[in-house]
């Protein structure tokens, strides 16, 4: 870490390659025996128990409404307060954890406040309300479209608006939750007839999710220019998919059972303020591409330079204590549609977003094979299998496979900001 970058007294917060320096301070919800669920601030190898921090009188500089909103078992009350409250709390956490501040470092109850992360279970940050999954990567949409519609990979509307569908929030699970292989109808040929059984084409999808903080009133659209003020932070999402089920069911109304059996969410919500050094301008549209309609344009619209790594470890690899094998490495900067445009379009017809709603990017893919964010693309519909480090081949996921999604931001002169992990192991179908 550069000497000019502000440091913390917390162990592990300045480790090279670490995800959680002082400049990050993501919020989440953790559980521990004897404590129940509570809001935590992640730094280095530790988590600050915010409720205990407040009970020890160390948050008295904050407004009472902010302190009270952080005292429960969910981030939702705090998320609903809005940007000024988020920034005030973040500034106070930064002050207390900085190397030059001794209020928390020297407090007699520090051991009850600053807890080792290994003893905690990361939960969902809040109850997820409505969940919308977009289809915002040009490379992903083009690749998948070319498999099924070689003569017209992109439908005429794709470059005019962010395409999305409403998903199922009840099956969003926290990182570490095992995922049962789903059953469904599949067909051997396009015309059927179908049979019912476990999916043979189980896939992952590398995605970035935006959690809504303050919502909007029904009938009151959110402008692109103010859209990010409604976003509490970003998380990682693995939107597990049953490709053979999806192929049979998706017409005419789109994804259904192939997508609603599980979606895994990372536990630590990274604020847009932490990601500020990694904002990049929304690139100009390519020659020949339509310009977005006025309601999808705004000064200062941005993407984020986030590296996204997907790894797979087979059951045999874990038994032999082999490291997980990198399967893809992409970047969120390759997206065609921005978070702000997704928010603006979602509300453009009057839809009201609410605290805890989740908007996901859809699969993040780039221009080269390694950057493709799902096995459907990575193995080109199973025709180009990949080989894991134990020598086994994968066209799609097998029972016992563990899928691990990681992400981080890096640039010279800035602290590395990480998202932690989003992981899950595939269990056999329950037939």
Active site positions, annotated: 140
**Three-state SS for 294?**
helix
Q: H helices within 149-258, ranges in order? A: 224-227, 243-249
The span from the CA of 38 to the CA of 73, in Å, is: 5
Q: Collapse the DSSP code of 195 into the 3-class scheme (helix H, G, I; strand E, B; otherwise coil) and give the result.
A: strand
Report how many helices (DSSP H) and strands (DSSP E) the chain contains, helices first.
Answer: 11, 25
H helix intervals, 326-426: 339-347, 375-378
Give one DSSP letter per residue of 146-169, joined into a string. Answer: HHH-TT-SS-TTTTTS--EEE--G
Q: What is the DSSP string of 101-145?
A: --TTTT-TTHHHHEEEGGG-EE--SS----EEEE---HHHHHHHH
Confirm if 187 and 172 have CB atoms less than 8 A apart. Answer: no
Phi and psi of 224, rounded to 5°? Answer: -55, -40
Q: Distance (Å, rounded) from C-alpha 169 to C-alpha 237?
A: 12
């Amino acid at each position: 870490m550069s000497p000019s970058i502000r440091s913390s007294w917390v162990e592990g917060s300045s480790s090279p390659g670490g995800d959680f320096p002082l400049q990050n301070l993501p919020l989440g919800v953790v559980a521990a025996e004897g404590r129940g669920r509570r809001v935590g601030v992640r730094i280095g190898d530790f988590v600050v128990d915010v409720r205990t921090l407040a009970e020890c009188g160390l948050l008295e500089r904050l407004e009472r409404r902010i302190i009270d909103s952080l005292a429960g078992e969910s981030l939702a009350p705090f998320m609903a307060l809005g940007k000024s409250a988020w920034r005030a709390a973040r500034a106070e956490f930064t002050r207390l954890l900085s190397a030059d501040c001794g209020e928390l470092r020297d407090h007699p109850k520090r051991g009850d406040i600053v807890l080792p992360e290994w003893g905690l279970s990361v939960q969902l940050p809040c109850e997820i309300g409505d969940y919308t999954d977009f289809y915002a990567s040009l490379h992903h949409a083009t690749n998948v479209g070319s498999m099924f519609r070689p003569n017209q990979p992109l439908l005429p509307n794709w470059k005019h608006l962010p395409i999305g569908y409403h998903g199922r929030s009840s099956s969003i699970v926290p990182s570490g939750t095992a995922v049962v292989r789903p059953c469904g109808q599949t067909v051997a040929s396009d015309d059927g007839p179908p049979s019912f059984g476990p999916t043979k084409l189980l896939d992952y999808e590398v995605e970035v999710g935006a959690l809504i903080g303050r919502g909007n009133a029904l009938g009151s659209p959110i402008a692109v220019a103010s859209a990010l003020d409604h976003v509490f932070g970003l998380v990682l999402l693995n939107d597990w998919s049953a490709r053979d089920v999806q192929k049979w069911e998706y017409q005419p109304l789109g994804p259904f059972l192939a997508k609603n059996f599980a979606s895994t969410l990372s536990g630590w919500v990274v604020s847009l303020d932490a990601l500020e050094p990694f904002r990049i301008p929304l690139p100009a549209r390519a020659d020949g591409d339509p310009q977005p309609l006025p309601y999808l344009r705004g000064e200062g619209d941005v993407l984020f330079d986030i590296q996204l790594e997907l790894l797979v470890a087979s059951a045999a690899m874990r038994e032999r204590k082999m490291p997980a094998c990198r399967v893809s490495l992409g970047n969120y900067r390759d997206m065609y549609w921005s978070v702000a445009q997704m928010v603006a379009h979602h509300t453009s017809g009057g839809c009201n977003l609410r605290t805890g709603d989740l908007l996901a990017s859809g699969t993040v893919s780039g221009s080269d094979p390694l950057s493709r964010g799902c096995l459907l693309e990575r193995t080109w519909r199973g025709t180009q299998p990949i080989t894991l480090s134990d020598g086994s081949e994968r066209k799609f996921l097998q029972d016992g496979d563990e899928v691990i999604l990681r992400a981080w931001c890096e640039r010279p002169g800035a602290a590395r900001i990480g998202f932690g992990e989003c992981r899950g192991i595939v269990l056999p179908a329950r037939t």
